[in-house]
Amino acid sequence: MQDAVYQAVYQRSLNDPESFWAEAAEDIHWFRRWDRVLDDRNKPFYRWFSGGELNTCYNALDVHVEQGRADQAALIYDSAVTARIKTWTYRELRDQVARVAGMLRAQGVGKGDRVVIYMPMVPEAVMAMLACARIGAIHAVVFGGFAAPELASRIDDAQPRLVITASCGLEPGRTVEYKPLLDTAIDIARHKPERCLIVQRSQYPATLSQERDRDWDQQLAAAAAVDCVPVAATDPLYILHTSGTTGTPKGIVRDNGGHAVAMKWSMKNVYDVGAGEVYWAASDIGWVVGHSYIVYAPLLKGCTTILYEGKPVGTPDPGAFWRVISQHQVSVLFTAPTAIRAIKKEDPDGQQRRKYDLSSLRTLFLAGERCDSDTLTWSKQLLGVPVIDHWWQTETAWAIGANCMGIQALPIKPGSPTRAVPGYDVRCFDEHGNDAAPGTIGNIVIRLPLPPGTFPTLWNNDERFVHGYMARFPGYYLSGDAGYLDTDGYLWIMSRIDDIINVAGHRLSTGAIEEVLASHTDVAECAVVGVADALKGQVPVGLVVLKAGAEIDPTLLSQQLIERVRERIGPVASFRTVGVVKRLPKTRSGKILRGTMRDMADGKPYKMPPTIDDPHILVEIAEALRTLGYTVVDAPR
């Protein structure tokens, strides 16, 4: 069989998960072995490796120093916005993190205390995360530059003893002052942290409060190094807040034991990366990708990880990623499709790529937003390496669906993240909880228990955990994504469940329509939303961004795209409206804000998303929608 190796591993993970994950756990250093591999006595609150004790920081740093990797590079900080590059070996990083941990302890932080980290992409942020893990504190990283009300809501939920921030973050052409945002957030928040540690950046030093604020460098100079503290495998490592539909952020909890086991296992089995190799996740530590694959997984595996402060374009050009790969000999790159689309938009012919030797690059992994076939194919032709689309969520911390390169490379189907990863029993249900026929779009669910590394609950909110994820289909985790399984067992994620539109009784995926639009040679990226229609219930509306240098007439382009959708999906789609825009509104992690655009087109008052990359884009989108005949409210509430 073409997939015999994969199938054998996958079936073993489902048939005997305790033996499967106990074997994986042997690769982790334990201070005390577990009593139970899987504790299922309080369903759906499953716990992995209960009774075991370990320390995540010890496994990420100290183990490698003790086992002969002390002088290997552990962390490379590459700041395109400051033209600074610095490398720490495993010994240097361990020693520095041990002192940072001592500094935290001097501020009164201990085991179980929460620390909010509100930082740009600077090495102190990584060190702060690892230092929290070292002493058993729980970190809650908030994306740097989040607005004060959003930061305040996360402070209130986590109730930290300490907040760590920097004086500023740096974006191409502008400086984001973090300290005033933090001050406002603390004023708004009900919970008042006892102390704030401030990393002063030379580009914009902040004014410190004598009573509450402390200078990072001054406190670190006086700190003594501390050893790792054993914690229970089921103790929280971190909280990561994701936006909730109620407006209250959801605090995803990550435990120590299952997380360490899954992270280290995934590096070899999903990404096919070994100790000593350079691995780069071009993301942000404020997102789950940054937690999992900038900080924890590469260090647990003994890799060299890259912390990149910059953009795919504009710092200084569309060759930024290729420069980093060439300069640091990156073996595997993990980024979002939106980053590749940005490069493709600015450099559609790949001129910048030709300037660099990318012979070290073995694989490109994409995740975070559905990857259309055109982007995947363009990347493969440009780089000459396998391009692997894979699918996962903040809740899971690692891949649900992927082409597991370290187990068996399977044939790639552009548009699909391939098969379910071992540990995940992925199904597709109709609205009644029955298995949908192959090729039929439904609700993507995962049979419980979820594998190690996934979230055991929400911070201080078990009820919301059950209601939001477990209640609709008992015994299954509701992913919130819509898609299907084909006859080969390949998984296709088409959109969020909310983005499935109902056109005159026909359920259609906006992702399928986007796939058609993206295939046009002049289209760099696109978005399709379902807009209310008096006759058909909903109709799809498309917004497209042109590639740099494209000179096609917008009316002609619209006609061509409408005809393409008619040919490939059918008249049932009722696709008749396309607008050309300069850019699409996105979150800072690259997700297109389809829900916001849908509300705008429907004439509803819309909320300014706290994660939006640039609020001014909504003004342009509003004008484009008005041109298409939609009534858009004047301003967000």
pLDDT tens track for 76-96: 999 999 999 999 999 999 999
Q: In this structure, are 411 and 544 located in the same domain?
A: no
* Listed residues 437, 452, 483: the one ending a domain: 483
Q: In this structure, are 423 and 546 located in the same domain?
A: no
Average pLDDT (321-327) is 98
Residue 182 has pLDDT above 70, yes or no: yes
pLDDT of residue 636: 56
Task: Report angle CA 503, 509, 511 to the nearest 5 degrees.
Answer: 140
Task: Report angle CA 420, 519, 350 to the nearest 5 degrees.
Answer: 95
Write out the two tokens for 369.
Answer: 């937003």
Residue 489 has pLDDT above 90, yes or no: yes
Q: In this structure, are 466 and 532 located in the same domain?
A: no
Residue 76, H or E segment: strand 73-79
* Domain-embedded: residue 398: yes
Average pLDDT (24-42) is 98
Q: In this structure, are 72 and 152 located in the same domain?
A: yes
Q: In this structure, are 596 and 479 located in the same domain?
A: no
Q: In this structure, are 269 and 401 located in the same domain?
A: yes
Write out the two tokens for 564.
Answer: 């393409």
pLDDT of residue 172: 86
* Domain-embedded: residue 612: yes
Rounded Cα–Cα distance for residues 266 and 169 (Å): 31
* Domain-embedded: residue 616: yes
Q: In this structure, are 551 and 623 located in the same domain?
A: yes
Bond preceding residue 451 cis, omega within 30 of 0: no
Dihedral, CA atoms, 12, 14, 15, 18, nearest 10 degrees?
Answer: 90
Average pLDDT (600-608) is 86
* Listed residues 429, 450, 483: the one ending a domain: 483
Q: How are beta strands 491-496 and 231-232 bridged, if at all?
A: unpaired
Residue 369 has pLDDT above 90, yes or no: no
Q: In this structure, are 450 and 533 located in the same domain?
A: no
CATH of the domain at 522: 3.30.300.30
* Position with higher pLDDT, 616 vs 356: 356
pLDDT of residue 505: 64
Q: What is the pTM of this model?
A: 0.88
Rounded Cα–Cα distance for residues 609 and 624 (Å): 19
Average pLDDT (57-74) is 98
Q: In this structure, are 82 and 117 located in the same domain?
A: yes
Name the least confident of 292-296, 444-448, 499-503, 581-585.
499-503
Residue 246 has pLDDT above 60, yes or no: no
* Domain-embedded: residue 33: yes
Structural domain of 517: 504-627
Residue 106 has pLDDT above 70, yes or no: yes
pLDDT of residue 248: 76
Residue 504 has pLDDT above 70, yes or no: no
Q: In this structure, are 470 and 512 located in the same domain?
A: no
Residue 245 has pLDDT above 60, yes or no: no
Residues 6+ apart with CB under 8 A from 394: 240, 242, 252, 287, 288
Residue 590 has pLDDT above 90, yes or no: no
Q: Give long-range contacts, CB 8 A cutoff, 24+ apart: 392-395.
A: 392/367, 393/288, 393/479, 393/480, 393/481, 394/240, 394/242, 394/252, 394/287, 394/288, 395/242, 395/252, 395/454, 395/455, 395/469
Q: What value does the CA radius of gyration of the chain take, rounded to a whole number of Å?
A: 24
Write out the two tokens for 631.
Answer: 């009534």
Name the least confident of 146-150, 164-168, 264-268, 595-599.
146-150
* Domain-embedded: residue 169: yes
**In percent, how much of the chain has pLDDT > 70?**
98
User: Length of the chain in residues, anyone?
Assistant: 637
Confidence category of residue 263, pLDDT binned at 50, 70, 90: very high
* Listed residues 449, 483, 517: the one ending a domain: 483
Average pLDDT (471-496) is 94
Name the least confident of 30-39, 53-62, 625-634.
625-634
pLDDT of residue 372: 84
* Domain-embedded: residue 214: yes
CATH of the domain at 464: 3.40.50.12780
Confidence category of residue 507, pLDDT binned at 50, 70, 90: low
Q: Which residues pair with 114 in a beta bridge?
A: 138
pLDDT of residue 453: 98
Confidence category of residue 247, pLDDT binned at 50, 70, 90: low
Rounded Cα–Cα distance for residues 48 and 359 (Å): 40
The pLDDT mean for the chain works out to: 94
Bond preceding residue 44 cis, omega within 30 of 0: yes
Average pLDDT (18-35) is 98
Contact 259, 292 (CB under 8 A): no
Write out the two tokens for 392.
Answer: 């996962």
Nearest to 352 by CA among 308, 316, 306, 309: 316
Give, in order, the Cα–Cα distances in Å from 477 to each of 45, 250, 474, 562: 12, 16, 8, 37
pLDDT of residue 503: 79
- The residue ranges of DSSP E strands in 154-272, in sequence order, are 162-166, 168-171, 174-177, 195-199, 213-215, 231-232, 236-242, 250-255
Count how many domains the chain has. Answer: 2
Q: In this structure, are 468 and 537 located in the same domain?
A: no
* Domain-embedded: residue 497: no
Q: Using the 8-state DSSP alphabet, how is residue 292 labeled? A: I
* Domain-embedded: residue 372: no
Q: In this structure, are 468 and 583 located in the same domain?
A: no
Confidence category of residue 605, pLDDT binned at 50, 70, 90: confident
Nearest to 138 by CA among 259, 43, 48: 259
Dihedral, CA atoms, 232, 235, 237, 243, nearest 10 degrees?
Answer: 160
Contact 300, 260 (CB under 8 A): yes
**Model confidence pLDDT, tens digit, residues 418-436:** 999 999 999 999 999 999 9
Q: In Å, how far from its chain's centre is CA 166?
A: 22
Task: Report angle CA 594, 337, 291 to the nearest 5 degrees.
Answer: 95
